[in-house]
Structure 1
């Protein structure tokens, strides 16, 4: 990411609360975003992924250890004015941010800094999509209409309702809550809809406009995944929303 140099050293010195990471095998994967912008599958190296999204309690421990990421101290270039605004105070969660709820209203910068504190990073889009394709029994359940309908049903939940607690049923890899709880930051969120062909700059600009490029992506039956691409591509690194959280990844 072109912004990575800005956060090197911010929040990277001390680990946060212990977290569980599980191995995923990687491999060749038919992403909704072809590796060559045409039909080529993604090639994903084995990696480890946090089993659950980062919670409010974990992020509170992080900002306590790294006060430069408190909402009353964070630089405006790293987070917008709604950063952690649902917390009762800069160092208190309160009734609207329960300890085991996933933390939201965090910017990409803050999420990346937290992951660095765990000697980790945000997952790439391909890693996240690869992991999210699993169900309890299959590493890739995307061809099952019932699986797609179950994931899509999440979008019927009003965005202003209280978030459930983390800790849903694990998938075949042992990962929880990849679908149906929150949106999640990925490391390369701002490159998802940029053409790899320099001759296609006009097309790239059109694709980046409000995530409209999702209409041109593959696997259109996996509408829920396409919606995530559109959402992520419409954001800036300092943006926060009331349902955007994150988890971290590590090399295997």
Structure 2
């Protein structure tokens, strides 16, 4: 009798859906971005939104590719992901020693990240949403003017890119968001539009200024070098690109 009850209980547990990801509610509002909303000096205006409290992990992405086999590394279309896509996994549906379950998933393309977020009824955050959430420290919603905040980001950038990634689960910031500025870079929805003028028809904007990163002349807070580095890195990517230290998290309205 006990054995039958135990088996029935186990079957019930296995039938339960996987735990839903946690999303924190952020209030939005006016935000002085490093990328002015008008290409000159205007602050961004953010609607309230929700953001995943932690980056997507290897274990979560493994469950996704098992449910959506078209995103396995041996089946994904080459136009949607480059040859490094999930190449650190032991196999198409196996993590192995090079990818621990609680590490943030990396070597995923923008296309793959968007598809995963769609499976959660979500999307990738915009740059403004990501920057707004990442501006916080443990107690302040905007700590960017603190030199110690900037130095902490720059110290992480000095870390070798081939060093093993830690598990997620760092201390939350003032919004309840964890691990947003480290241990990985993160995709944003509009990554390929960050250094494009707000209106390409602007008569004062010469096309020559868009070459070789010169679009950065309109960037604000130039002392915030750590954030500007992230803008430059994201702007250099293609949607099919993957890297050793680029992951993602999802957002919802």
TM-score when scaled to structure 2? 0.89
Q: Which of 10, 24, 32 is 2:26 aligned to?
A: 24
Displacement of 1:216 in angstroms is: 4.3
C-alpha distance in 2 between matches for 1:196 and 1:141: 27
Q: Distance in 1 between matches of 2:177 and 2:164?
A: 22
Match of 2:169 among 167, 170, 175: 167
1:96 aligns with 2:101: no
Match of 1:139 in 2: 141
Stretches of 4+ aligned residues off by more than 2 angstroms: 211-216
Unaligned runs of 5+ in 1: 1-14
User: Aligned partners of 1:203, 1:20: CA distance in 2, in Å?
Assistant: 44
| Distance 1:73-1:171 versus aligned 2 partners, 3 A rule | same
Q: Among residues 98, 102, 105, which one is paired with 2:107 in the alignment?
A: 105
1:79 corresponds to 2:84: no
Is the contact between residue 111 and residue 240 of structure 2 (CA under 8 Å) also seen in structure 1? yes
Aligned partners of 1:121 and 1:249 also within 8 Å: yes
The equivalent of 1:232 in structure 2 is 234
Compare 17-26 and 215-224 and name the one that shifted more: 215-224
**Partner residue of 1:202?**
207
Q: Is the 8 A contact 1:133 1:141 kept in 2?
A: yes
The question of whether the paired residues in 2 share the 8 Å contact of 1:184 and 1:245 is answered with yes
Q: Provide the secondary structure at the position in 1 that maps to 2:231.
A: helix
| Partner Cα separation in structure 1 for residue 97 and residue 151 of structure 2 | 32
Q: Is 1:221 matched up with 2:223? A: yes
The answer for the alignment partner of 1:46 in structure 2 is 48
Q: Distance in 1 between matches of 2:63 and 2:107?
A: 16
- d(CA) in 1 for partners of 2:158 and 2:135? 20
1:134-166 Cα shifts (integer Å, max 9, x gaps)? 011000000111111111110110001101111
| Two-structure CA RMSD over aligned residues (Å) | 1.4
Contact kept, 8 Å, 1:101 with 1:165, in 2: the verdict is: yes
Gap runs ≥5 in structure 2: 1-16
TM-score (norm 1): 0.90
CA offsets, 1:145-195, max 9 Å, x none?
111111111011000110111110000111000112101000000000001
Give the Cα separation in 1 of the matches to 2:209 and 2:105.
Answer: 32
1:66 to 68, 88, 98: 68
1:73 is displaced (CA, Å) by: 0.2
